[in-house]
Amino acid sequence: MTPAAPVLTARALLLDMDGTLVNSDAAVERSWGVWADENGFTLDEVMKVSHGRQAHATMAVLLPDRPAERNLADNRAMLARETADTDGVVPVPGAPAFLAALAGLPHALVTSADAALAGARMAAADLPVPAVRVTAEDVTASKPDPEGFLLGAATLGIAPADCVVFEDSEAGILAARAAGMRVVGVGPRAADLGPDAHVEDLTRLRVTAAPSGGIALYLTEPAPVPTA
């Protein structure tokens, strides 16, 4: 049952993609597995720092003395590989209904993917790409830098304090906090990262236009477990 009072209200929502709207974990791990093997890392070592960041930013964390040009070249190769590999990319539960509820309400996609990869993954998950989007080409710094979220808010014409970000990763939540925005954490990675609200997936959320204007977010109870 939807509670009487919203857990959060906002004038706009800013949405991460991977882990928030789409489950691309298998494809991400396949791509990073190739890079890890080539550069002497285990996949676990890479995945501990990769979530939410652009690939070249992850490489800079793992190989701080490596020339930026090599990281950018590897980043381009990885983006091409990921764009071509959408096997197993599916929507996060509840994402189709969530995006449908946002039709006509101010929202934007803010992702570390480039436009081609974002389009490929959203298409693979059969999700509409929001009309306003911020992708890797639009920013000079990767999450956890707040640039992407600030650009998304500015494009929508909404003050940062009036935005709520949906994120699954530490880098993304840090970026939202640095932008002065509130956060709904989505999925298990976000549970212990201090979001203002947390949901296991988007089935646990209802979105409506607020009576006084803006957007109201409601957390819902899990469906009851059938009894024999």
Per-residue pLDDT tens, the chain, 228 aa: give them. Answer: 445 678 899 999 999 999 999 999 999 999 999 999 999 999 999 988 887 788 899 999 999 999 999 999 999 999 999 999 999 999 999 999 999 999 999 999 999 999 999 999 999 999 999 999 999 999 999 999 999 999 999 999 999 999 999 999 999 999 999 999 999 999 998 998 999 999 999 999 999 998 878 999 998 865 444 454
Is 138 a known active-site residue? no
> How do the domains of the chain map onto residue ranges?
8-24+89-219, 25-84
Cα gap 141→62, rounded to integer Å: 17
Is 18 a known active-site residue? yes
- Look at the domain 8-24+89-219 and name its fold: Rossmann fold (3.40.50)
